[in-house]
Structure 1
Amino acid sequence: MPARRLLRVAAAVTRWWRLALLALVLAALLVLLVARVAWERWQAPLRLPESGLLLTVYPGDSLRSVAERLQAEGVLPHPELLLLWARYHRLDARIRRGEYALEPGLTAESLLALLVSGRVVQYQVTLPEGIVVAQAIAILQRENALESVLSGPDDARLLQLVAPYEAVEGLFLPETYRYERGDSDLDILRRAHRALLEALEQEWAIRDADLPYASPYEALIMASIIERETGVPEERGEIAGVFVRRLQRGMRLQTDPTIIYGLGDAFDGNLRRSHLQDADNLFNTYRHDGLPPTPIALPGRAALQAALQPAAGETLFFVARGDGSHEFNTTLEGHERAVRKYQLQRREDYRSSPESP
């Protein structure tokens, strides 16, 4: 090959390599530029309001549907980066349902980590001691984040939940319960029932000897009465002692809250003498021996403890002073003096002043 031709070929090859090298450098620079832009977008805070945003991932939602929803709301400008990253790391199918709090400063990367973690917003609701099941359901159904599925205390699902017990009253532990959006009133009561059974089993296992209860359920009934009678927490044990000693001596409990419970919606706030004389009311402990058929409220743990470890003593009577506390007496004469002193007429809270045997 002539030398001149070889020089031309060499020059062409050199130009080609130079162009190829230049193209390679430009491509690398372009890749770096794209990578830098993508990384900056990936690490950039989402466009969230200062107050943050609640995001709900519903059952059946995919990461794509969530990302597209956030894009439509102007929160996630570049959902494709989130989807690519999740697919590469095999996280796209691992997001969990629930309600998430998106706080200012959250990035796409931290959003994905949040959705995979399942760290959903937690709510809480308190069931106070001494309420009845109907009131507990009403409290739960006022919670906006809870689904209301129960029709009332007679709902078949509640009766099935507490089986083999035939009545639902008293079978739920009043406490503060945490929950997530999407949980239901039935879910909370299911947990409260389980908590009650556990607490009752634990307290029954360490009960005092010679108590007048044939079963843990009877202790639960007594605990509910103690709960309704107690105005000052420190008196629970002494109130329990009075009722336990009355049962042991064959005396009737003679406690107003049981009558009121038996009256149900018929009670208008005024406990009449006719109510005390009504033997048709099976919860009338002035006319019926022993405990009423079922609990009359939701007793707390302290009431369970009082029923199963009552305070020792000789008192058999108590009367409300009018400030939530009671005066206790060992004799009927002392009790009647206290009644004349404190209860010329029955107080609105209707805590009892047991009569003579």
Structure 2
Amino acid sequence: MVALFLTFALLLLYALWLLGPTGKEALVRIPRGATGAEAARVLEEAGLLRSGHLFSVYLRFSGRAKRIVPGVYRLRGEGAFRLARALTGGEKPLSVTLTFPEGERAVDYARRLSGAGLDGEGFLRLVEGPGALKPPYVEGKTLEGYLFPATYTFDLLATPEEVVRAMLRRFEAELTPPVQRLLLERGLSVHAWVTLASIVEKEAGSAEEMPFIAGVFLNRLERGMPLQADPTVAYALGKRLPELSRPAGDFQVDSPYNTYRYPGLPPGPIANPGRAALLAVLNPVRRDERGRPYLYFFHARGRLYLNTDFEAHLRELRQRYSSP
């Protein structure tokens, strides 16, 4: 009897040692839908547990296995019971929340990701060569334009693929049945829609201007006129708008993105447009109160000026820029 008691005591002590503190600290990721055994394996491989199997048994019999919260945790090996509590609501998973503004390029988004400690370089490589990740509606080689600008929350170990997939899912949420019907009515492919919206996004000073600018560009496309959009030249040269120089010959650059030299839409989006720009292309203001099509616009002193003929456009340009 004494021997049996001693054996039981030794086994109990051994089990407690296996479930006890290891003194290590690690950043671990518990996948969504992970079972107790899978979570235990993650902790054991990180050195936070001595026996993942024993821990998974404890999770199952304590009822905690079904309450595991997925995410990234910074944990210390303070024993199985504290670890179980941490994974089932005792600690909040670590995450980072980032806002990606409308009108920025993929390279700008990559910098934001890198600044938050995520893999910005890997993100940019995936955007530029998406492979099997590329949706069927993307006609170009890259995902530029389809990375929907919004606020996202990622865990600290989010991979480039997870980030890109989140942005594509958010873009696809904009492809509602009413939007798809409008695309059919307007004779626009998703690619043309996003490409034009990206130019509108970069040209507009506000959301209120977007339907008018979209109307100008749609009227020009309909007539075979070049868009003559400065942001497309900036994109072709990898410059910002204020850096463009006519004396330097920037507007003569031989690029399919140069809408001064080549009529029609450029090969693909030049930025990632937001909802306002996307909707403006589908709901443009194309004519003035007399039914004449808008064909020209410019900005002066923070205001948008529209015209239906070139001579009137030139007169107003001279007037607005010569007046004090």
Does the alignment reach a TM-score above 0.5? Answer: yes
* 1:99 maps onto 2:78 in alignment: no
Q: Which residue of 2 aligns with 1:152?
A: 124
Superposition RMSD in Å: 3.7
* Distance change (3 Å), C-alpha of 1:311 and 1:109: farther
Q: Residues 219-258 of structure 1: matches in 2 within 5 Å? A: 219-258=193-232
Q: CA deviation at 1:331?
A: 2.2
* 1:321 maps onto 2:292 in alignment: no
Q: Residues 336-355 of structure 1: matches in 2 within 5 Å? A: 336-342=314-320
Once residues 209 and 69 of structure 1 are traced to their aligned partners in structure 2, the CA distance between those partners, rounded to angstroms, is 56
1:276 alignment partner AA: F
* 1:131 maps onto 2:109 in alignment: no
Deviations 1:175-233 (A, max 9, x none): 1111112112331122112322342455642427763x541211111100000001112
Once residues 47 and 128 of structure 2 are traced to their aligned partners in structure 1, the CA distance between those partners, rounded to angstroms, is 41
1:193 alignment partner AA: L
1:138 alignment partner AA: R
Once residues 244 and 173 of structure 1 are traced to their aligned partners in structure 2, the CA distance between those partners, rounded to angstroms, is 23
* Distance change (3 Å), C-alpha of 1:341 and 1:150: farther
Residue aligned with 1:171, SS: coil
Once residues 64 and 95 of structure 2 are traced to their aligned partners in structure 1, the CA distance between those partners, rounded to angstroms, is 24
Once residues 126 and 310 of structure 1 are traced to their aligned partners in structure 2, the CA distance between those partners, rounded to angstroms, is 27
* Distance change (3 Å), C-alpha of 1:210 and 1:188: same
Retained in 2: the 8 A contact 1:223–1:304? yes
Match of 1:218 among 192, 196, 214: 192
2:146 alignment partner AA: L
Once residues 196 and 57 of structure 1 are traced to their aligned partners in structure 2, the CA distance between those partners, rounded to angstroms, is 30
Retained in 2: the 8 A contact 1:228–1:257? yes
* 1:181 maps onto 2:140 in alignment: no
Once residues 68 and 284 of structure 1 are traced to their aligned partners in structure 2, the CA distance between those partners, rounded to angstroms, is 56
Q: Which residue of 2 aligns with 1:162?
A: 134
* 1:121 maps onto 2:94 in alignment: yes
Deviations 1:153-174 (A, max 9, x none): 4767534422553232212111
Q: Which residue of 2 aligns with 1:334?
A: 312
Structure 2 gap segments, 5+ residues each = 1-24, 31-37, 50-54, 288-292
Q: Which residue of 2 aligns with 1:199?
A: 174
Query: Which has the larger displacement, 313-322 or 295-304?
Result: 313-322
Once residues 268 and 310 of structure 1 are traced to their aligned partners in structure 2, the CA distance between those partners, rounded to angstroms, is 27
**Could you tell me the TM-score, scaled by structure 1's length?**
0.64
Once residues 296 and 316 of structure 1 are traced to their aligned partners in structure 2, the CA distance between those partners, rounded to angstroms, is 22
Once residues 71 and 311 of structure 2 are traced to their aligned partners in structure 1, the CA distance between those partners, rounded to angstroms, is 63
2:256 alignment partner AA: L
Once residues 175 and 164 of structure 2 are traced to their aligned partners in structure 1, the CA distance between those partners, rounded to angstroms, is 16
**Could you tell me the TM-score, scaled by structure 2's length?**
0.69
1:306 alignment partner AA: A
Once residues 83 and 201 of structure 2 are traced to their aligned partners in structure 1, the CA distance between those partners, rounded to angstroms, is 47
Q: Which residue of 2 aligns with 1:30?
A: none
* Distance change (3 Å), C-alpha of 1:93 and 1:317: closer
Retained in 2: the 8 A contact 1:317–1:332? yes
* 1:261 maps onto 2:235 in alignment: yes
1:207 alignment partner AA: L
Q: Which residue of 2 aligns with 1:9?
A: none
Retained in 1: the 8 A contact 2:220–2:227? yes
1:277 alignment partner AA: Q
Once residues 166 and 315 of structure 2 are traced to their aligned partners in structure 1, the CA distance between those partners, rounded to angstroms, is 46
Identity %: 32
Query: Which has the larger displacement, 255-264 or 325-334?
Result: 325-334
* Distance change (3 Å), C-alpha of 1:58 and 1:129: closer
1:246 alignment partner AA: R
Once residues 68 and 156 of structure 1 are traced to their aligned partners in structure 2, the CA distance between those partners, rounded to angstroms, is 37
Match of 2:84 among 103, 109, 112: 112
* 1:57 maps onto 2:28 in alignment: yes
Residue aligned with 2:112, SS: helix
Retained in 2: the 8 A contact 1:316–1:329? yes
Aligned residues: 271
Query: Which has the larger displacement, 269-278 or 245-254?
Result: 269-278
Residue aligned with 1:57, SS: strand
Retained in 2: the 8 A contact 1:56–1:98? no
Once residues 275 and 341 of structure 1 are traced to their aligned partners in structure 2, the CA distance between those partners, rounded to angstroms, is 26
Larger Rg computed on CA atoms: 1
Q: Which residue of 2 aligns with 1:32?
A: none
Q: Residues 257-336 of structure 1: matches in 2 within 5 Å? A: 257-264=231-238, 269-272=243-246, 274-278=249-253, 280-313=254-287, 314-323=293-302, 325-336=303-314
Q: Which residue of 2 aligns with 1:21?
A: none
Structure 1 gap segments, 5+ residues each = 1-53, 71-81, 103-107, 345-357
